[in-house]
Structure 1
Amino acid sequence: MPSSLALAILSVIQPAFAEDNVLPTITLTAANSQSDGDVPTTTQSLKSEQPLFKTAKSVSVVTKEQIEKKQAMNLTDAIQGVAGVISAPLGRRGADDFIIRGQLSSDAIYVDGLRQAQASDSPSNITGLERIEVVKGPDSMDFGQTAPGGIVNLVTKRPVQGDFNQLDLRYGSHNLRQIGVDTNHTIEGSDKAAWRLNANYSDQDDATDHVYFKNFYISPSYNFDLGDQTDLSVIASYNHKEYVRQQGLPVYGSILPNNNGQVSRHLFIGEPSVDPYLSDSMRIGYNLKHIFDDGWTFKQNFAVQNSRLDGQAVFINKSTANSSTITRQGRDQHYDDVNFSIDNNIAKTVELGNMQHHLMLGLDGMHDTRDIWNYNCTITALNIYAPRYANQDWCATKALRSDSVETTLKTMGVYFKDQVDVTDRLNINLGLRHDWASVDAKSNYNDNESSKSSQAFSGSIAGLYTYNDWVSPYVSYSTSFLPVTDVDVDGNVFDPEKAKQYEVGLKFQALDQRLQASLAWFDLTRFNVVSSDANGDKYQTGEENTQGIETELAVRILPNWVVSANYSYLPTARIVDNEISGYEGKRLNNVSEQMFNLNTRYQFNQGALQGWFIGAGVRSESKKSSYKYDYTLPGYALFDAEMGYDAGTWQASVNAKNIFDKEYYAGGLSNNVVTVGDERQVNFNLRYKF
Structure 2
Amino acid sequence: MNRLARASRPALPAFFVSTFASALASAQTATSTPAPGAPADVQVSGRRGPTVGSRMQEPLRDIPATVHVVTDREIEEHGASDVAGAVSWVPGVQPQLEYGGFTSMTIRGFKEFTSVVDGMRDDRYQLADSAPSGNLAGIDRIEVLKGPASALYGYGGIGGVVSILHKLPSRRFGYEGSLSVGGPSSLRRASVGATGPIDDTLAARVDAGIVDDEGFRRNRSTNANITGAVEWRPADRHRVLVRLGYQKFHFSADTGLPTENGKVPDGIALERRFNTPWDYLDGAFYDGRLEYAYTASDHVKLVARAGVSRNPYDYKSAEFLTVGRGQTVDRQWFTLGQEWDAVSAQLEAHVRGTLLVPHRALFGYDFGYLLARPPRFDLRNTDLAPVPFADAPDPQGDYGTTRVGRVTRHQTTHSLFAHDTVKLAEGFKLSLSGRLDRWEYDSTTRMYDTAVTPGGSQTSQDRDLIAATFRAGLVLQPADWLTFYGMTGTGFTPVRTVSADGRTFDPERGREYELGARIDAFERRMHVDLAAYNLRKTDMVVARKANIYEQLGAQSSRGVEASITLESIASFSLRLGYAYTRARYDDYLSSSGNFTGKTPANVPDHTFSAWGKYVFPLGFSAAAGLRVIGNQWADASNTVEMPAYALVSAAVFYAVGPMEIAVNGDNLLGLGRYYVSSINDSQLTPGPPRTVLVSLRYKSRS
TM over 0.5: yes
Mapping of residues 271-310 of structure 1, within 5 Å: 271-274=276-279, 276-293=280-297, 295-310=299-314
> Which residue in 2 is equivalent to 1:213?
221
Q: Which structure 1 residue ranges, 5 or more long, are not aligned?
A: 1-10, 19-23
> Which residue in 1 is equivalent to 2:21?
none
Moved more, 596-605 or 380-389: 380-389
Q: Give the whole-Å Cα distance in 2 for the aligned partners of 1:511 and 1:466.
A: 17
1:73 aligns with 2:81: yes
SS at match of 1:422: strand
Mapping of residues 284-363 of structure 1, within 5 Å: 284-293=288-297, 295-319=299-323, 323-353=326-356, 355-363=357-365
**Distance change in 2, residues 1:492/1:439 (3 Å):** farther
1:85 aligns with 2:93: yes
* Shift, 1:684, TM fit: 0.8
SS at match of 1:429: strand
Mapping of residues 217-616 of structure 1, within 5 Å: 217-252=225-260, 256=263, 258=265, 261-274=266-279, 276-293=280-297, 295-319=299-323, 323-353=326-356, 355-375=357-377, 376=379, 377-385=382-390, 387-390=392-395, 392-394=397-399, 396=400, 398=402, 400=404, 405-445=407-447, 446-486=457-497, 495-510=506-521, 512-530=523-541, 540-558=551-569, 560-580=571-591, 581-605=593-617, 610-616=618-624
**Distance change in 2, residues 1:642/1:96 (3 Å):** same
> Which residue of 158, 163, 167 corresponds with 2:177?
167
* Shift, 1:670, TM fit: 4.1
Q: Give the whole-Å Cα distance in 2 for the aligned partners of 1:678 and 1:493.
A: 44
SS at match of 1:592: coil
SS at match of 2:642: coil
Give the total of aligned pairs. Answer: 653
SS at match of 2:641: coil
**Distance change in 2, residues 1:92/1:15 (3 Å):** farther
Tell me, yes or no, if the aligned pair for 1:269 and 1:315 is still in contact at 8 Å: no
SS at match of 2:171: coil
> Which residue of 638, 654, 657 corresponds with 2:666?
657
1:124 aligns with 2:146: no
Q: Give the whole-Å Cα distance in 2 for the aligned partners of 1:291 and 1:421.
A: 23
Q: Give the whole-Å Cα distance in 2 for the aligned partners of 1:16 and 1:623.
A: 51
Q: Give the whole-Å Cα distance in 1 for the aligned partners of 2:361 and 2:481.
A: 27
Tell me, yes or no, if the aligned pair for 2:179 and 2:190 is still in contact at 8 Å: yes
SS at match of 2:374: strand
Tell me, yes or no, if the aligned pair for 1:643 and 1:653 is still in contact at 8 Å: yes
* Shift, 1:70, TM fit: 1.4
Tell me, yes or no, if the aligned pair for 2:678 and 2:684 is still in contact at 8 Å: yes
Q: Give the whole-Å Cα distance in 2 for the aligned partners of 1:346 and 1:309.
A: 37
Q: Give the whole-Å Cα distance in 1 for the aligned partners of 2:247 and 2:122.
A: 14
Post-superposition CA distance 1:343-397 (Å, at most 9, x none): 21113223233x1122322111100011222433442222223544135222x25
> Which residue in 2 is equivalent to 1:47?
55
1:179 aligns with 2:190: yes
**Distance change in 2, residues 1:399/1:197 (3 Å):** closer
Q: Give the whole-Å Cα distance in 2 for the aligned partners of 1:177 and 1:597.
A: 26
**Distance change in 2, residues 1:419/1:682 (3 Å):** same
TM-score (norm: length of structure 2): 0.87
Tell me, yes or no, if the aligned pair for 1:122 and 1:308 is still in contact at 8 Å: no
Moved more, 59-68 or 526-535: 526-535
> Which residue in 1 is equivalent to 2:157?
147
* Shift, 1:270, TM fit: 1.2
**Distance change in 2, residues 1:379/1:29 (3 Å):** farther
* Shift, 1:113, TM fit: 2.1
**Distance change in 2, residues 1:272/1:646 (3 Å):** same
SS at match of 2:343: strand
Q: How much is the aligned-residue C-alpha RMSD, in angstroms?
A: 2.8
**Distance change in 2, residues 1:660/1:493 (3 Å):** farther
* Shift, 1:426, TM fit: 0.4
**Counterpart residue identity of residue 295, structure 1:** H
* Shift, 1:509, TM fit: 1.0
> Which residue in 2 is equivalent to 1:21?
none
> Which residue in 1 is equivalent to 2:111?
104
* Shift, 1:40, TM fit: 5.2
**Counterpart residue identity of residue 384, structure 1:** F
* Shift, 1:126, TM fit: 2.1
SS at match of 2:152: helix
Moved more, 642-651 or 620-629: 620-629
Post-superposition CA distance 1:148-204 (Å, at most 9, x none): 0001011111101210111211111111122110100112334xx210000011211
**Counterpart residue identity of residue 114, structure 1:** M
Tell me, yes or no, if the aligned pair for 2:317 and 2:333 is still in contact at 8 Å: yes
**Counterpart residue identity of residue 512, structure 1:** E
Tell me, yes or no, if the aligned pair for 1:465 and 1:474 is still in contact at 8 Å: yes
* Shift, 1:535, TM fit: 8.4
Q: Give the whole-Å Cα distance in 2 for the aligned partners of 1:164 and 1:480.
A: 42
Q: Give the whole-Å Cα distance in 1 for the aligned partners of 2:84 and 2:603.
A: 16
Q: Give the whole-Å Cα distance in 2 for the aligned partners of 1:491 and 1:675.
A: 38
**Distance change in 2, residues 1:559/1:300 (3 Å):** farther
**Distance change in 2, residues 1:486/1:199 (3 Å):** farther
**Distance change in 2, residues 1:146/1:672 (3 Å):** closer
Q: Give the whole-Å Cα distance in 2 for the aligned partners of 1:359 and 1:52.
A: 16
* Shift, 1:647, TM fit: 0.7
Tell me, yes or no, if the aligned pair for 2:340 and 2:371 is still in contact at 8 Å: yes
**Distance change in 2, residues 1:452/1:188 (3 Å):** closer
Tell me, yes or no, if the aligned pair for 1:172 and 1:684 is still in contact at 8 Å: yes
**Distance change in 2, residues 1:397/1:460 (3 Å):** closer
> Which residue in 1 is equivalent to 2:5?
none
Q: Which structure 2 residue ranges, 5 or more long, are not aligned?
A: 1-24, 448-456
Q: Give the whole-Å Cα distance in 2 for the aligned partners of 1:674 and 1:13.
A: 61
Tell me, yes or no, if the aligned pair for 1:471 and 1:506 is still in contact at 8 Å: yes
**Distance change in 2, residues 1:60/1:14 (3 Å):** farther
> Which residue in 1 is equivalent to 2:211?
202
Tell me, yes or no, if the aligned pair for 1:428 and 1:463 is still in contact at 8 Å: yes
Would you tell me which structure has more strand in proportion to its own residues? 2
**Counterpart residue identity of residue 118, structure 2:** D
